Amino acid sequence: MMVLKSWEVVGLKKGTLKQILLITDGCSNKGEDPVAVASIAQQQGITVNVIGILDDGHAEQDESLQEVEDIALSGGGVSQLVYKQSLSQTVQSVTKQAMTQTMQGFVNKELEQILGKGQSMEDLEPEKRGEIMEVVEDMGETCDLEVLVLVDTSASMYDKLPTVKEALMDLSISLNARIGRNRFAIYRFPGKRKQMDRILEWSPALDSISSIFPKLTSGGVTPTGPAIREAMYQFGKKSLRRGFKYEDEQPGMEEA
Amino acid sequence: MKMNSQEWKKLDIDVRPGIKLRGKWHGKTYLIQRKLGAGAIGVVYLCVCNGKQAALKISDKRSSMTVEVNVLKSLAKVQGNRLGPSLLDVDDWVSPQGICYSFYVMEYLHGEPLISYVQRRGQAWVGVFMLQLLDALQELHQNGWVFGDLKADNLLVVSSPPKVRWVDVGGTTQIGRSIKEYTEFYDRGYWGLGTRKAEASYDLFAFTMVFLHVYYPNQFAKESSPQKQLFRKIDSVKELAPYRMVLKKALVGNYHTSKQMKNDLLKIIYTTERKNMRAHQQHGQQTNSSSLFIDIGGISALAIIYYAVSLLFQ
């Protein structure tokens, strides 16, 4: 298939998807606008996904959580509002959905070159779309993935932190069932002195976070924007580069 | 993940009973009759095309729909597919509001949910459906697929002869990959009893949970030591007594194929039956204490007969 070939040329098979997963329960109230920062992240090839945790009795239409959707939209990612009871399922499905979405974005770019401006796989007849979707799925299963989890630990998150921990361990179970490799890092915000503090350095699984995951919150302010900016910088770090060793160096996904 | 309420509304406004959908590519027209159900990705309607009833699934999550269609197509290639509904048409529909939906049309399986069927028709059917399901799973696994989202809600019993069929193949995953879609209660990863890699043993765990769900209609929440808890749950169901060992082995992942599990199950059904016959001969008259064995023996006899009949009609 024509499309598939051009994918291989681009080297996507060896590419690494980069995601920030922001877990919060409210609106930012300090520092730069997170919606703007998310858009910068996306330009750097980092997708920003957001999960907004609703308090019981909270309506889905609540305005303070509009920001959740806006951040994900400008970050090229997926957002979902959820009650804490279904956090586990949501965290993994949002992550996977965002992976598919990113892959599709690449495919659509390729298709535009072949079919002409404004054409996407949605414009193809169902049979052809099926073939392309198989490729997209394949990529999602085999690509390497880096997820930086950014947990809001402002005061109102106190009773939600145990559930967040469970959900992250569950995410690791889901993603580590894939063929591709994974790297996770966890940060909390606000930090004690900085915008955010590290909980877990880049590592291949999250099953060991039980003892290190914070049980306490870290203050009242929610500097979401600055935290996303800091998170963005963590992807360029050397420790990470060393982490993935490819047999032969291939261009990363962000260069596609 | 459920669709949120706004997405529901949009679909409900566009697709109503009485309206006609005309496919953009293949041009077939479908008259929508009523809603059959809704899942994580889309809504399923009963529809009529050329005087025949069919099930039509529609959603604006078009890539997810494409993935499901791919699975249905692959399953259709599985020889003698007796597993899921067959696929009749795949197309797009542009609503009067200009929203583009994808839909596909399947054979309409008219059946009763597994749990209510067993409750209504009795215990004898449990063994029958276990054997039928294991056969179907074996066939699926041999062809390189794992069902994934195996759960009571996805199992229908169709009649004459009674046969368990599955609907909603959204979770069906190629062996060796990560499970596409799952439901916590049935997911071994959730219970800490295995990975989410698509392997035969993943389905066999869910299989066991299906039959636990039959006897715990309200399900139950996870406690601190899940394995002990699940074993205890099995032990407290009198009706599952003959199958205890087999179900427990499946829970901890000791079966690598459905065939192994089915063989163990057949052995149990066979020996319980023989024990029971001997008990009959020796005592002549039954006592109260042996009535449990008699029950189980009677059930197994029925199970074997029904299962044999269902094999004939495949």
The CATH number of the domain holding residue A227 is 3.40.50.410
Distance set, CA B157 to CA B119, B161, B174, B249, B261 (Å): 12, 10, 26, 26, 22
Tokens of B216: 């715990």
Beta-carbon separation of A88 and B73 below 8 A = no
The alpha-carbon gap from B5 to the nearest alpha carbon of chain A, in Å, equals 9
The confidence score (pLDDT) of residue A248 equals 42
**How would you classify the pairing of strands B111-113 and B155-158?**
antiparallel
What total of structural domains would you count in chain B? 2
User: At residue B246, what is the residue type?
Assistant: V
Residue pLDDT, tens place only, B87-132: 999 999 999 988 999 999 999 988 999 999 999 998 889 999 999 9
Please check whether residue A119 touches B, CB under 8 A.
no
Instruction: Note whether residue A38 is domain-resident.
Output: yes
Res. B289: pLDDT tops 60 = no
Residue pLDDT, tens place only, A80-101: 999 988 899 899 999 999 999 9
Instruction: Note whether residue A254 is domain-resident.
Output: no
The confidence score (pLDDT) of residue A1 equals 45
B93 and B139 in a single domain? The answer is no
How much of chain B exceeds pLDDT 90, in percent? 62
Q: Which residues of B touch A127 (CB under 8 A)?
A: 90
B119 and B240 in a single domain? The answer is yes
Instruction: Put the strands of the sheet holding B155-158 in their side by side order.
Output: B111-113, B155-158, B163-166
Instruction: Put the strands of the sheet holding A16-24 in their side by side order.
Output: A76-83, A46-54, A16-24, A144-152, A182-189, A197-203
What total of structural domains would you count in chain A? 1
Beta-carbon separation of A133 and B67 below 8 A = yes
pLDDT-derived band at A60 (thresholds 50, 70, 90) equals low
Q: Residue B2's closest chain A neighbor by CA?
A: A90
Q: Residue B68's closest chain A neighbor by CA?
A: A130
B96 and B134 in a single domain? The answer is no
> Which of the listed ranges A154-158, B21-25, B285-289 does the model predict with the highest average pLDDT?
B21-25
Res. B290: pLDDT tops 60 = no
Beta-carbon separation of B178 and A175 below 8 A = yes
Please check whether residue A166 touches B, CB under 8 A.
no
The CATH number of whichever domain residue B146 belongs to comes to 1.10.510.10
Tokens of A244: 């993935």
More confident call, A64 vs A77:
A77
The confidence score (pLDDT) of residue B4 equals 52
Tokens of B246: 């087999």
Domain boundary among the residues B80, B107, B134 is at B107
pLDDT-derived band at A119 (thresholds 50, 70, 90) equals confident
**Strand (E) positions, chain A?**
16-24, 46-54, 76-83, 144-152, 182-189, 197-203
The alpha-carbon gap from B274 to the nearest alpha carbon of chain A, in Å, equals 44
Residue pLDDT, tens place only, A8-53: 444 454 579 999 999 999 888 889 999 999 999 999 999 999 999 9
CA dihedral A111, A113, A119, A124 (to 10 degrees): -40
The confidence score (pLDDT) of residue B299 equals 63
Tokens of A231: 């998170």
B149 annotated active-site:
yes
B132 and B250 in a single domain? The answer is yes
B56 and B125 in a single domain? The answer is no
DSSP code at position A201: E
Residue with the two structure tokens 């994934």: B148
Domain boundary among the residues B57, B88, B107 is at B107
The confidence score (pLDDT) of residue A13 equals 46
State the helix-helix crossing angle for B114-121 and B200-215, rounded to 10 degrees. 50
Contact between A204 and A183 (Cβ < 8 Å): yes
Q: Which residues of A touch B176 (CB under 8 A)?
A: 179
Asked if the peptide bond before residue A223 counts as cis, ω within 30 degrees of 0, the response is: no
- For residue B55, what are the domain limits? 5-107
How much of chain A exceeds pLDDT 90, in percent? 52
Residue environment code for B12-26, b if the CB has 16+ CB neighbours within 10 A, otherwise e: eebbeeeeebebeee
Q: What's chain A's average pLDDT?
A: 84
B252 and B184 in a single domain? The answer is yes
CA B222 to chain centroid: 22
User: At residue B55, what is the residue type?
Assistant: A
Res. A225: pLDDT tops 60 = yes
The alpha-carbon gap from B286 to the nearest alpha carbon of chain A, in Å, equals 51
The confidence score (pLDDT) of residue A251 equals 44
Collapsing DSSP states into helix, strand and coil, what is residue A59? coil
B81 and B124 in a single domain? The answer is no
Q: Which residues of B touch A170 (CB under 8 A)?
A: 189-190
B148 and B13 in a single domain? The answer is no
Containing A113, the helix (H) or strand (E) segment is: helix A87-115
pLDDT-derived band at B75 (thresholds 50, 70, 90) equals confident
Question: Among B12, B6, B23, B17, which Cα is nearest to B105's?
Answer: B23
- How far apart CA A136 and CA B288 sit, in angstroms, is 63
Annotated catalytic residue: which of B60, B135, B149, B168? B149
B115 and B87 in a single domain? The answer is no
- For residue A56, what are the domain limits? 15-243
Q: Residue A122's closest chain B neighbor by CA?
A: B62
Tokens of A132: 């392309």
Question: In this predicted structure, which of A55-69, A217-231, B191-205, B259-273 has the lowest mean pLDDT?
Answer: A55-69
Question: In this predicted structure, which of A165-174, B115-124, B275-284 has the lowest mean pLDDT?
Answer: B275-284
Res. A244: pLDDT tops 70 = no
Residue with the two structure tokens 């520092």: A31
Beta-carbon separation of B63 and A141 below 8 A = no
Q: Which residues of B touch A179 (CB under 8 A)?
A: 176-178
DSSP code at position B2: P
Distance set, CA A215 to CA A87, A188, A227, A244, B176 (Å): 17, 12, 20, 31, 36
Instruction: Note whether residue A249 is domain-resident.
Output: no
Beta-carbon separation of B4 and A60 below 8 A = yes
The confidence score (pLDDT) of residue A141 equals 93
Question: In this predicted structure, which of A143-157, A167-181, A203-217 has the lowest mean pLDDT?
Answer: A203-217
Beta-carbon separation of A122 and B67 below 8 A = no
Q: What's chain B's average pLDDT?
A: 87
Instruction: Note whether residue A4 is domain-resident.
Output: no
The confidence score (pLDDT) of residue A246 equals 45
Average pLDDT over residues B130-139: 94
Contact between A255 and A14 (Cβ < 8 Å): no
Question: In this predicted structure, which of A229-233, B242-246, B290-294 has the lowest mean pLDDT?
Answer: B290-294
The confidence score (pLDDT) of residue B10 equals 74
Containing B33, the helix (H) or strand (E) segment is: strand B29-38
The number of beta carbons lying within 10 Å of the beta carbon of residue B170 is: 22
B185 and B285 in a single domain? The answer is yes
The confidence score (pLDDT) of residue B35 equals 93
Residue with the two structure tokens 């046969």: B163
| Nearest-by-Cβ selection for A104 from B63, B179, B197 | B63
Please check whether residue A178 touches B, CB under 8 A.
yes
Instruction: Note whether residue A255 is domain-resident.
Output: no
How much of chain B exceeds pLDDT 70, in percent? 83
Res. B313: pLDDT tops 90 = no
Q: Which residues of B touch A122 (CB under 8 A)?
A: 62, 100
Please check whether residue A60 touches B, CB under 8 A.
yes
- How far apart CA B192 and CA B177 sit, in angstroms, is 19
The confidence score (pLDDT) of residue B269 equals 83
Instruction: Note whether residue A32 is domain-resident.
Output: yes
Average pLDDT over residues B77-81: 63
The alpha-carbon gap from B91 to the nearest alpha carbon of chain A, in Å, equals 6
pLDDT-derived band at B14 (thresholds 50, 70, 90) equals confident
More confident call, B58 vs A122:
B58
| Nearest-by-Cβ selection for B69 from A122, A130, A178 | A130
Tokens of B126: 């449990």
Domain boundary among the residues B63, B79, B107 is at B107
- For chains A and B, count residue pairs whose Cβ atoms are closer than 8 Å: 67
The alpha-carbon gap from B73 to the nearest alpha carbon of chain A, in Å, equals 10
Res. B231: pLDDT tops 50 = yes
Res. B308: pLDDT tops 90 = no
Please check whether residue A93 touches B, CB under 8 A.
yes
| Residue A44, phi then psi, degrees to nearest 5 | -85, 5
